[in-house]
Amino acid sequence: MTPVAQHWSASWPVLAGYLVLAGVHLTGLWRLRGWTGGADWLRERRREAVLYQLGLLLVLVALVSPVGYLADRYIWVRALQTLLLAVVGPGLAVVGGPWDALTAAWSGRPVRRGTLPRWLVAHPVLMVVAANVVWLVWQVPALFDHAQSSAGLALIEHVSYLAAGAVFWLQLVSSRPFRQQVPALRRFALVAGTVAASTVYGMMLVFGSGVLYPVYANSAHHVMSVLDDQQLAGAVWWMGILPPMIIAAVALMMEWLANEDSADSPAGLDGLLTPRRHGWPSRTAIR
């Protein structure tokens, strides 16, 4: 039997959580049919629903598939699992804007605008720093090793990854029906800071010469040493976080450019007749 078909974990808490979140979301979408705002509204809702469900599915795969099994044996697989739980899964779920559907599942109507708790979005820098701290604190050798051997601590670790990831992305992207109020360039700086933090940690593992996680000195390391495994994990952290962050950074730059264009361009017919102002000051030509 191939490794892909082996080692699927029937983790009932994980499966139950997935079924509840996915089922409530689909129920809410069904109840929102009477609130449609036209074909475009419905098409956008379906696209967002796919993103949310895909985010949940990635979280499920990270925990119950062979990824979860191999994460207890290889440090680099655990790094991949962490990125799925902390960054990719929550990111897709937040972009999927599930709040209308989740609320409609209970009340039968969409959530009202502006009902996110103020403490959650009022201090984006603090929240992004806190999310990064949560992600990196779990990489401290004492916690890292203990969570590998303790099911209870591992559960707390995974839940904290998901929560921190959701908080992180809520500071960066609009999640229907909530719209971002923080300027795009400021959010771009938060993305850059996150990439810098993960890069420093990844480089520490890649170029480190000592084993930080001796608990992984098991029989699975007969091809690569624990140090090789640790260095590969550093590369996963270093490079693995780049794709979602690059996508976010490009989207933020596009949003900033669109806002600049709309601010500089007059509306209506005047916008077609008036020359556009350049974003950079002109300089006198050298004669």
Q: Tell whether the model's pLDDT for residue 180 goes beyond 50.
A: yes
Determine whether 13 is exposed, middle or buried from the number of CB atoms within 10 Å of its CB (0-12, 13-18, 19+).
Answer: exposed
Q: Tell whether the model's pLDDT for residue 40 goes beyond 80.
A: no
73 lies in a domain? yes
Q: What is the mean pLDDT of residues 23-43?
A: 78
Per-residue confidence band for 183, with pLDDT thresholds at 50, 70 and 90: very high
- What is the percent of the chain with per-residue pLDDT over 70, rounded to a whole number? 83
CA 47 – CA 32 distance, rounded (Å) = 15
280 lies in a domain? no
Instruction: Using the CB atoms, write b or e for 206-239: b if 16+ within 10 Å.
Output: beeeebbbebbeeeebeeeebbebbbbbbebbbe
> What pLDDT sits at residue 273?
47
CA 137 – CA 129 distance, rounded (Å) = 12
> What pLDDT sits at residue 269?
40
213-169-65 Cα angle (round to 5): 50
Closest CA to 53 of 85, 7, 14, 21: 21
Q: What is the mean pLDDT of residues 121-145?
A: 94
> What pLDDT sits at residue 36?
60
**Cross-strand pairs, 111:** none
Domain assignment of residue 181, given as a range: 12-262
Q: Are 139 and 164 in contact (CB under 8 A)?
A: no
The half-sphere exposure of 158 on its side-chain side, counting CA atoms within 13 A, is 23
- Taking only the tens place, the pLDDT of each residue in 58-72 is 999 999 989 988 998
Per-residue confidence band for 173, with pLDDT thresholds at 50, 70 and 90: very high
**Cross-strand pairs, 175:** 178
- Taking only the tens place, the pLDDT of each residue in 141-170 is 999 999 988 889 999 999 999 999 999 999
285 lies in a domain? no
Q: Tell whether the model's pLDDT for residue 187 goes beyond 60.
A: yes
Q: Are 76 and 110 in contact (CB under 8 A)?
A: no
End-to-end CA distance of the chain: 77
**Cross-strand pairs, 178:** 175
- Taking only the tens place, the pLDDT of each residue in 74-103 is 999 999 999 999 999 999 999 998 988 888
1 lies in a domain? no
DSSP string over 142-161? HHHHHHHH-HHHHHHHHHHH
At residue 110, φ and ψ (nearest 5 deg) are: -65, 160
> What pLDDT sits at residue 268?
46
Token readout for 180 is: 């971002």
283 lies in a domain? no
Q: Tell whether the model's pLDDT for residue 35 goes beyond 70.
A: no
CA 85 – CA 96 distance, rounded (Å) = 16
282 lies in a domain? no
- Taking only the tens place, the pLDDT of each residue in 193-251 is 999 999 999 999 999 989 999 889 887 787 789 999 999 999 999 999 999 999 999 99
Token readout for 215 is: 């608990």
Q: What is the mean pLDDT of residues 118-131?
A: 91
Sign of CA dihedral 186, 192, 195, 201: negative
Q: For the chain, how many structural domains are there in total?
A: 1
Q: Tell whether the model's pLDDT for residue 279 goes beyond 50.
A: no
- Name the pTM for this structure: 0.85
User: 3-state class of 175 per DSSP?
Assistant: strand
- Torsion from C-alpha of 277, 280, 284, 286, nearest 10 degrees: -130
Q: Tell whether the model's pLDDT for residue 41 goes beyond 80.
A: no
Name the DSSP class of 257: H
Q: What is the mean pLDDT of residues 110-119?
A: 68
CA 158 – CA 46 distance, rounded (Å) = 28
Q: What is the mean pLDDT of residues 118-145?
A: 93
87 lies in a domain? yes
Sign of CA dihedral 67, 71, 76, 78: positive
141 lies in a domain? yes
As a whole number, the mean pLDDT across the chain is 85
> What pLDDT sits at residue 124?
94
